[in-house]
Structure 1
Amino acid sequence: MAGSRILSGVQPSGKLHLGNYFGMMKPALEMQEEGEAYLFIADYHALTTVHDAARLREWTRDVALDFLACGLDPERTAFYRQSDVPEVHELAWLLSVVTPMGLLERCHSYKDKTARGVTPSHGLFAYPVLMAADILCVQSDKVPVGRDQKQHVEVTRDVAAKFNHQFGEVFRLPAPEIRDSVAVVPGIDGKKMSKTYGNTLDIFGDEKTLKKNVMRIVTDSAPLEAPKDPDTCNLFALYRLLAAGDETEALAERYRAGGLGYGTVKKDLLERIQAYFAPMRARREELARDPEAVEAVLARGAARAREEARRTLSRAREAVGLPPGAIGREDTP
């Protein structure tokens, strides 16, 4: 819808890789063309799994540098740290008092993470309530998410509807936006690219390591002269993310004709990764030399988000019977 308010968030959880870029970052950057965009670095959410203060600070800084280097325009997108908008956390409490336990118990993210060995905590269990506050505090219309996060947006709608029913109309009901065009990027072992699996191709990392990992991408054992199926090849799936349509089709024809070695495709893929991200790498290096400018971008984004969040929180407080309190104070970060 024209003029939509769109929100997305990203956890600071490590170095940027191809899967992050094509799976989340590129779609998030496209929000700038579609409506009023809000994008936050979810550092409070990250605390459920990141317990090293220095690492959290480093990864948060990395996310800010990565997004700005890859094309985020702070004039069109309110870009901010979650922890710089404290209204979110008061709103999370107001939402928590109307959130049924059973609703949280049915959330698969908690079950999945604890099954993978993440220590159970109240923060991990109540993660969907804080996510609801992130979304509702700026009155988002649309939330682009992967299918694994769709349930959390549905929880947000349920909680907002329950609050509105009990206390009066305060919140818009946001809609999850599942983008089928968003790429599922294979890692070097053929599984979904993920830091969890240690199978990533880092974008801004050491180029020697990138080359080594590209050469490790798993392929089948078909001999050089044999025809090959591009639709089942991890290399081809990565290549098509970086190449134009006619280039992709030309490579597919070479696959099917036979006589093409995987080593040749790996060398081409490496060159394409380096060329695609070279301008972004240079921009990132420039930004890293001016940390105060990056902080200023985040501060401006937080001020914009807080302006909207204060209005929302004021309405929510009034609806439940609380006084306005400190809503009008000017302690923006």
Structure 2
Amino acid sequence: MTKQRVLTGITTTGTPHLGNYVGAIRPAIEASRDTDIESFYFLADYHALIKCQDPAAVQQSTREIAATWLALGLDVNSTVFYRQSDIAEITELTWLLTCVCAKGLMNRAHAYKAAVDANVAEGEDADKAITMGLFSYPVLMAADILMFNANVVPVGKDQIQHVEMARDMAQRFNHIYCKKEPLLTLPNYQVDEHVAVLQGLDGRKMSKSYGNTIPLFLPEKQLKKHINKIKTNLLEPGEAKDPDTSTVFQIWQAFATAEQTADMRQAFADGIGWGDAKKQLFELVNAELAEAREQYNDLLERPADIEEALQVGAEKARQVSQPLIAQLREAVGIAPIR
């Protein structure tokens, strides 16, 4: 039986936080252990350039995010873990897809429309400060997916459109150039409705843009300090508290077993003090992350080992991308003169 190929992209901007871990990294690493699937994970450093034009920040984030996935147990022997920019065939496919992609499709991209709407609302020119990178990045994303003929792409609900666009471009390319024997696989999106979306320090969704995150591998003292900053109400110890409106409980639930969750829910009903609840939350989170934190810090001291892991993954990735781009070149007529 042919294994399903699942592809996940990781944008290299910022430092990973607890929300990234619970919502994306932990479930992805768990899924990678399924022997019935081929798992491809890539660091989307070209995508990072759309939002970040600080070379040092892009480089640092790439290093930190690669170290994070390795420290948390991603097995690079059973998966394909690579850096987008190491696969030259992706950018070549981006151009092939650009030549069959309708501009109208890009006009409907959510990120572009949101930027235009924001400009118009401020009385500015609709396209003020909008780069071609922002406008056309769904084509690069489609190339990321189609280059490896991914069957499934796990995404959040806000990313479904990109997988649908990739399907549109693949269908168009196949129709024009290889109708009888399609070369590009039509991908499907997968949305896990049960993945937790963590709240941040202020009760809103944990997000770098809100400045309310808890970085994943903070030293113990800093982790405790951040958890103590979580916004709570003014209810005193002994007063019953509602766990379903509490950020402390919500983060607890993301790390706890079913039994621990039930016990904490009862503790809220019994009036546990916020200080005690936060102390227990720190101990729970720290216990899960302590070993990986040590490995992460060790890896950051050995950047050559991180690079080596990425190069091993890139070599495996090119075993897929190079033969396919050769077929795609032939299909469009870019080939040696015979």
Deviation per residue, 1:120-139 (Å, 9 max, x gap):
10011111000000000011
Superposition map of 1:180-259 within 5 A: 180-256=193-269, 258-259=270-271
* Alpha-carbon offset, residue 161 of structure 1: 0.8
Superposition map of 1:1-333 within 5 A: 3-34=3-34, 35-112=37-114, 119-168=129-178, 169-256=182-269, 258-323=270-335
* Alpha-carbon offset, residue 57 of structure 1: 0.8
Work out the CA distance in 1 between the residues paired with 2:254 and 2:323. 41
* Alpha-carbon offset, residue 261 of structure 1: 1.1
Partner-residue secondary structure (3-state), 2:50: coil
Q: 1:79 to 1:262 in 2, by over 3 A?
A: same
Q: 1:324 to 1:268 in 2, by over 3 A?
A: farther
Work out the CA distance in 2 between the residues paired with 1:302 and 1:132. 19
* Alpha-carbon offset, residue 288 of structure 1: 2.3
Contact 1:143 1:174 in 2 (8 A): yes
Work out the CA distance in 2 between the residues paired with 1:62 and 1:113. 29
Q: 1:186 to 1:115 in 2, by over 3 A?
A: farther
* Alpha-carbon offset, residue 212 of structure 1: 2.1
Work out the CA distance in 2 between the residues paired with 1:301 and 1:116. 40
Contact 1:78 1:305 in 2 (8 A): yes
Contact 2:64 2:300 in 1 (8 A): no
Q: 1:71 to 1:116 in 2, by over 3 A?
A: farther
What is the identity, as a one-letter code, of the residue corresponding to 1:160?
Answer: A
Contact 2:241 2:271 in 1 (8 A): no
* Alpha-carbon offset, residue 113 of structure 1: 5.3
Contact 1:314 1:324 in 2 (8 A): no
* Alpha-carbon offset, residue 283 of structure 1: 1.1
Contact 2:253 2:261 in 1 (8 A): yes
TM-score (norm 2): 0.92
TM-score (norm 1): 0.93
Cα RMSD for the two superposed structures? 1.8
Q: For this pair of structures, how many residues does the alignment match?
A: 324
Q: Which residue is equivalent to 1:329?
A: none
What percentage of residue pairs aligned between the two structures are identical? Answer: 42
Work out the CA distance in 1 between the residues paired with 2:98 and 2:156. 24
Q: Which residue is equivalent to 1:331?
A: none
Contact 1:6 1:31 in 2 (8 A): no
Deviation per residue, 1:18-64 (Å, 9 max, x gap):
00101111122123123111100000000001111111111101111
Work out the CA distance in 2 between the residues paired with 1:66 and 1:119. 33
Contact 2:63 2:300 in 1 (8 A): no
Query: Structure 1: which 5+ runs fail to align?
Result: 326-333
Partner-residue secondary structure (3-state), 1:47: helix
Q: Which residue is equivalent to 2:122?
A: none
Q: 1:114 to 1:189 in 2, by over 3 A?
A: farther
Work out the CA distance in 2 between the residues paired with 1:7 and 1:143. 5
Partner-residue secondary structure (3-state), 1:6: strand
Query: Structure 2: which 5+ runs fail to align?
Result: 120-127
Stretch deviating more after TM superposition (205-214 or 33-42): 205-214
